[in-house]
Every structure is written in C-alpha cells, then in structure tokens.
Amino acid sequence: MRSTPPALLLDRPTIAELLSLDDCIGAVEVAFAAHARGETLSPGLLHGDGVGGEYHIKAGGLRSPRAYYACKVNSSFFRNRATNGLPNIQGLILLYDATDGRPLAVIESGGITIKRTGAATAVAAKYLARANAKIATIVGAGLQAAIQLESLMRVRRLESVFVWSRDAARADAFAARMSEKLSLPVAAHPDLAAAAGASDLIVTCTPAKRWLLARDMVSPGTFVAAVGADSPDKQEIEPALLASAAVVTDLTGQCAHVGDLHHAIAAGLMTAADVRGELGEIVAGIIPGRSDDREIIVYDATGTALQDVAAAALAYERAIALGRGTEFPFWG
C-alpha cells in the first residue's frame, strides 16, 4: 500500500510570499479559458446562514496540467471589524489531488480570495475595457477596493482615479494611502454620479444590499466590474443598467442566482439568455468581447471556485518546490 505524504498547512504570510497579484492574474486567466474549453471539474456554490453572518462554500477543479480540486469555506460577518477586531471575511481552502482524492493542503483563504478577485477584474478589463481607458472610479474603500485598483493598473494605463464610499473619512484615507503607494492621483469624490460619469472604468466592491450604481450614471463606452454581489441579498448595480448593457459573467448560472444579474432577472428585465457570455469564452476566443467604443459592458463577478483552485494550486506547487509550509500528517 502506497504511503501518503503529509499535507501542508499554508498560512496567510506564507501565501503572501508565494503568490503575487501578477501570478494570480495569469493563473485566473488560464483557468477561465480552460473552463470554456471544458477542461475543468464542474464548479459549485452553496450558501449557509450564520448568527449575524453567512457562509460561502465554493468548490471545483482543474483537469490539467495536473488535476486539482479545491473546496473553499468562507465566513462573511461584516460587523466583525467594528465590534471585535476580527476580519469581516475568514476562511480556509482545502486542496486535493483530483485523481486520487488525496488532501494536499489546508490554506488560509483570505490572501488568495483578495488577490484572485482582483485578478478576475484585471482579466475582464483586459478583454472588455476600451484600450484607451484611463480614468477609473472605485466604489468602496476597503481591502478589496485596493486590490481592485492595483489590478486595473496591471492592464490599463490609468491617469486618475476617484473613490467613493458611504464613509467619507474612509474614502479620504483610502485616497491618501493609494495615491502615495501607486504614485497616482487618487481622489475621494463625494458625488458618485459625477465620478462615475467621468470614468472609463468603474468597479463596485461593497457589501451593499441595495443598488448604488444607476443606469444614468454611466457614460457610453464604460467598463463596469460588479464585484460585491456574491450572495442573493447583495446588490450593487441598478437592474436597468444591466438590461441596457452588454453583460458578461464569470459563471452565468451562478450569477443568475447570486449576482447582480439575479436582481435584473427578478425584476423581469433580463433572462440568463440575454447574457453575452462568460468571461472564459471571451478569453478562449470562442465569442467576441467588446463590439465598439461606445458599448457599455458590465462584468458580473460572483467569484468562482475556478479562481480559488488555480491560485491555491500555484501556491501549493511553489510551497513544495521551496520547502515552505508546515507538514500536517493528519493520517497518523
């Protein structure tokens, strides 16, 4: 009987050293295209209620070049930071060998989730934003807002950025911090409509439960990445905006149940058949992306297990190669 080697424990500091944002962008782009070509193991999503929060369980796998399967369990308790100092989102990724079911790693999920979410926006903007897009608005001023901005800068040459938040002090702090970090003019803007209307790219990354970005705020040719709505009760985009735009999803079936698309369908303004396609289909060249420079495109991003497994597998392979992580012999 073959002996089973220990799995690895990989904490957040180790993941930060092993996996850069650029690494995640490359891995996520490959994973999206692989899914469009039928080279993945079907991703799935489950939501569960907590006491004052919720749980997201995402699972799926890649078939090549090595077969991996991952299951991520994240908790979302958005009062944590203010009430007990804990992160609002916490969780673990379990990584498996998809050919024999062997557990390979237990990974802190926060660092991967933050980067892979920004990475997906970078991939979407690469294929869907206008080539000359240079002004961005970030809606939200948290940790995800920062990685979203850094991700956009990987694929477009930004000249200025607005940030809007319901918390004006937080927006001011974000603008000051990111201006210094990125050597880029980042300004807090009190008027979301004015900021959005002046922008070529807009990213919404909030836990909002009522839409923030309206149809009449968005100028022709704008690329919108709707990142925050990843459960049925979250919503950032007015349904009329989705209905009037070209909509691209990460996974259409998932977005129809938990994304901003879900709300447009519930309002009777769209069906899933109205979606142009999934991002992976565009990356793989199966369907076209932007049709012209005046087209408004909304990328509905609910976050997929494909992103998680691609990033986790890369981190695991690097940990093995570099001798990082803590061995976890839970078989005895």
Which are the catalytic amino acids? 72
What is the bridge-based pairing of β-strands 103-108 and 54-62?
Answer: unpaired
Sign of CA dihedral 14, 120, 196, 150: positive
Contact residues for 227 (Cβ-Cβ < 8 A; gap 6+): 117, 121, 144, 148, 203, 204, 205, 236, 301
Q: In angstroms, rounded to a whole number, what is the distance separating the alpha carbons of residues 320 and 29?
A: 23
Which of 134, 88, 82, 125 lies closest to 227, judged by CA? 125
Q: In angstroms, rounded to a whole number, what is the distance separating the alpha carbons of residues 77 and 64?
A: 35
Indicate the helix (H) or strand (E) that contains 318. helix 305-322
